[in-house]
Amino acid sequence: MRLTRAAALAGITLLMSNQAAARPPSAEDMLTLVELGDYRGGLSPSPDGQNIAVFARETRVRENDYRYRLLVMPSSGGTPRTIADAGDIILRNTPYGPTGAAMDRAPAWSPDGRYLAYMTAREGRVALWRVALNGSPAELLVDGPGDVLRFQWLDDNNFVVEIDAPRPSLSAAALHAERVGFHPDEFFTPYASLRPVAATHIGRTQFVIDVPTLTRRPANSAENELLNGRPRAPAPNTAIAEDRAEGSVTWIAPRTPGDRASTPALGLYRAQLDGGSVIMCADHACSGRMLGAWVFGERIVFRRMEGHGAGLTALYAWDWRANTVHRIRREDEELFGCVRAADRLICLQESPLQPRRIISIDVDTGDLVELYDPNPDWRAFDQPRIDTIEVNDAYGNASFAHLVFPAGYRPGRRYPVVVVQYRSRGFLRGGVGGEYPILPLAGRGYFVLSVDRPEWRGAEAALSQAELDQRTALDNSENLMKQSALEAMLAELDRRGLSDPRRIGITGFSDGAETLYWAITNSDLFAVAVASTQPTDMTAWTLGSRAFRQSLLSEGMRGPSAEDDNPWAAWWARNTTVLHAERIRAPLLMNLAESEVIMAFPLATRLEELNRPFDLYVYPGAYHVKWRPAQLLAAQRRAMDWLDFWLRGVEREDPDEPGRLERWRALRDRTGSR
């Protein structure tokens, strides 16, 4: 076991104008931070490289919505200006329905650099707009008959656009089903909703719009391919950096033909666009988790993840003529949507105590310069000490966690601990799903262990993802891997005299919730738990959609049937939480979305029968990810109050729910729980 990166992170203290007034951020402070870009990035450089455009998202809790603004700023730095209002959030959709996550959307420059095109959401309608940089009013280009899904510039005056099924037809279909009933289709998912899923994938259309006249014509196959963003590199599914002036293309692909492009066995290649010879980078650094490449003359700058558990972001430069590599930068940070501007790389950047901002990196020295920080007031908050804990699980897989120290930490004193899962990269906001605000929890007096779960980095190079998932599920090593890593981290806190082993709480969303339910039924480590996702239950197989079952069957998984030849029957029996409810002693709070709550009722009923302390909240209209700001803040506050009640004996009234404190006291008194 090694403890590293502590010196670099422990000394992070931002300059404050009034040191005495500094306080830890609250949950609302965290939620209302302005966010730049989208999940993958969202920076858009102008064709001449002189400007960059990006969306800024403001979370408005009182209005219970979001406001997107389109910003433009010089790529050399300066004050950005808002050139358009882009409306509200657009939710990512799937054939099974919305997930609650925001759809990735980035502004797109016209080829001549005079205009930006972008999507807006207002009153449930998604439209396409265009705005000029000269300050003239934005122009509405496409609004219906269905919502805009994707678009691409063809030239300065033409777009290829894909829209959803017409809104009136979707409404009519819903009304018809309500009146006379409906036959479930392959995407009908009973546990999520007993209403039909809108068959939007059937009615999608693609067309080309001429901007001067706003006339439309059907898109041809080549134009449709532009919507798919097909790469021009020799290998499919690769990251590309193209330099037309040099007539070259650079791509990342598997080193061995036939390997999966998603495995770590990747390499970096360069070739001439006219079919010239291919050069492969020979250095060991040109492998592993490579996440992008950019051409700087005779050097190819590339990004990779490395360090224990691949927790560090590194930039390297490959001189393809000499076939030599040197490292430019290696930090505990995340870089998103990087683009080239002259001799610098411009990125969206986050680090454990730094919310997302726009920076530039000198590709010669690795020096970082801040170009724009949308949250300058963040510097006024108290910044906690952070250490990094690195462990190996029982199977040798590496993982790490950021350990955030409690406000006012005093050496020699043991504190309660809250575990937050299951990724810990970039800014320490609230774990995956965002429901457990890490820094406000530290401000309440907890050590917060922000865990980045281990991965099968060795096995995944030799097996397909389906084979790996099946093998590690059937032999139970997936559960044991995560459990052993967590146990090793908590043992280290105890060894260092930091934690109170009797006061450890665990939280979890999605994969983190799977770990939580396994942990509270297979160990006595945790004194309290808060889950944001329903437990695994056998009903999941029958209440899921037919298409989802077929996808699982195609990967080798089967339902809980007890036939002698079904190896998955034991998996369902082992992971269906209600079958092991007698083992649950930790007080459990479940904050569940309406679309997922139905599978939680078997466990909730059984815990009630066993007289175990638990509470359950349902969030109407929520999906896997809670996307409404007011609901997300309410879930965060309930989670922190539940942890305080059981771990610290702190009792808080909820003004929005009179009687909650009496109910929790009754749970404690009736069950005799600590």
Active site residues: 510, 596, 624
Closest Cα to residue 314, out of 298, 338, 297, 296? 338
For 176, residues 6+ apart whose C-beta sits below 8 A from its C-beta are 182
* Number of residues that this document lists for the chain: 674
565 by Cβ neighbours in 10 Å (0-12 / 13-18 / 19+) ranks as exposed
Q: How many CA atoms lie within 13 A of 497 on its CB side?
A: 5
Contact call for residues 2 and 390 (beta carbons, < 8 A): yes
For 538, residues 6+ apart whose C-beta sits below 8 A from its C-beta are 560, 572, 576
Q: Is the peptide bond before 655 cis (omega within 30 degrees of 0)?
A: no
Pairwise CA distance, residues 585 & 350, whole Å: 38
| 3-state SS class at 581 | helix
| Residues β-bridged to residue 616 | 590
| Residues β-bridged to residue 401 | 389, 451
| 3-state SS class at 525 | coil
Buried b (16+ CB within 10 A) or exposed e, 310-344: bbbbbbbbbebeeeebeebbebbbbbbbbbbbeeb
For 565, residues 6+ apart whose C-beta sits below 8 A from its C-beta are none
Q: Count of CB atoms within 10 A of residue 649's CB?
A: 10
Q: Which two tokens stand for residue 354?
A: 């730094």
Locate tokens 């807006």: which residue? 120
Q: Count of CB atoms within 10 A of residue 141's CB?
A: 17
For 580, residues 6+ apart whose C-beta sits below 8 A from its C-beta are 521, 522
Contact call for residues 425 and 498 (beta carbons, < 8 A): no
Closest Cα to residue 119, out of 155, 167, 151, 83? 151
| Residues β-bridged to residue 447 | 417
Locate tokens 């400007």: which residue? 51
| Residues β-bridged to residue 280 | 269
